[in-house]
Amino acid sequence: MTANEELKVIVREKYSAIALQDKDTNAASCCGATSTSNKIYNIMMDDYTDVEGYTPEADLGLGCGLPTAFAHIQEGDTVIDLGSGAGNDCFVARHETGATGKVIGIDFTPAMIQKARFNAEQLGYNNVEFREGDIDNMPVSDNLADVVVSNCVLNLVPEKPKVIREIFRVLKPGGHFSISDIVLVGELPEALRKDAEMYAGCVAGAIQEDEYLGHIKAAGFENTTLQKRKTITLPEDILNKYLDADALQKFQQEQTGIFSITVYAEKPKDAQHASMVDISDMIQVNTHCSPGSGCC
């Protein structure tokens, strides 16, 4: 078994257990996968309470943004949600697409698929379906989706460029994505980078922000926009599990940045790869965020 395959097994096992945890436990840890913190609540997640289409029973508290709020979903759209969990973002997307649209959730954890299907049946949503599969090899045809969304999932995948190329493949020409994810500015301490639990907890699997955005450009997307950027602060009682006092002090002094970002990009209408440009030229920062959204 390769290292990437081992990581996938770890994540699948962790998220099978998470499917059975309560929301408070998940929200007080890193993506539900690490030990809970007594010092801070909602380490990663954003508040869905006032979002139309929100389904509390499907919210496991695992997200790090509100990608559906930025995704410009239209009535009748076909939407794919990557790492759909218990279905919350799918149900929010379904509110936007209406009965004439279609929403497909993809998750590689059988327990999550089972939970999401139960929730969809309880809601009576016949146009929301859940498919078991890897998001780096989606069980979806080419050029199918108008919109792709994902909430704090790509950081869990070892081969992120492969996932981004898959997003390009499944989007229709002129389609777009809005994805919330965890990225870094600066290097994590080795103990955090190597710990398998911390990988399943989103942080160790995160890559540098400029590298992340570079993968999007390399896949052929255009009009990349940073829609939201929020600082993630890991509490000391979680960090103490991985770092001794000296390492913790160094980590805090170096001020390594851990961020939740929501990124938007479009597949060209002619579906041709755009020419490579410098990352600094391709990013637009959206300053027109709604009050309280956490935008910088």
What is the DSSP code string of the chain? --HHHHHHHHHHHHHHHHTTS-HHHHHTSSTTSS---SS-S-SSPPP-TTSTT--GGG--S--SS-HHHHS---TT-EEEEES-TTSHHHHHHHHHH-TTSEEEEEES-HHHHHHHHHHHHHHT-TTEEEEES-TTS-SS-TT-EEEEEEES-GGG-S-HHHHHHHHHHHEEEEEEEEEEEEEEESPPPHHHHH-HHHHHTTSTT-EEHHHHHHHHHHTT-EEEEEEEEEE----HHHHTTT--HHHHHHHHHHT-EEEEEEEEEE--TT-PPPPP--HHHH-EE---PPTTS---
N residues, the chain: 296
Residues 140-148 have a mean pLDDT of 97
Q: Which carries the bigger pLDDT value, residue 141 or residue 247?
A: 141
Over residues 94-111, mean pLDDT: 95
**Is the pLDDT higher at 275 or at 260?**
260
Between residues 51 and 28, the one the model is more confident about: 51
* Per-residue pLDDT at 172: 97
Which domains does the chain carry? 3-275 (3.40.50.150)
Q: How confident is the model at residue 81 (pLDDT cuts 50, 70, 90)?
A: very high
Q: What is the pLDDT of residue 223?
A: 97
Mean pLDDT of the chain: 81
What integer is the mean pLDDT of 108-114? Answer: 92
Helix 160-170 to helix 209-218 angle, to the nearest 10 degrees?
A: 40
Label residue 241 by pLDDT band (50, 70, 90). confident
Q: Is pLDDT above 70 for 30?
A: no
Residue 99 has pLDDT above 50, yes or no: yes
The residue-averaged pLDDT of 272-279 equals 40
pLDDT of residue 24: 54
User: Would you place residue 281 in the very low, low, confident or very high pLDDT band (cuts 50, 70, 90)?
Assistant: very low
Residue 292's pLDDT band (cuts 50, 70, 90):
very low
More confident residue, 290 or 48: 48
Q: Which pLDDT value is given to residue 34?
A: 53
For the entire predicted model, the pTM comes to 0.80
- Indicate the pLDDT class of residue 136, thresholds 50, 70 and 90: very high
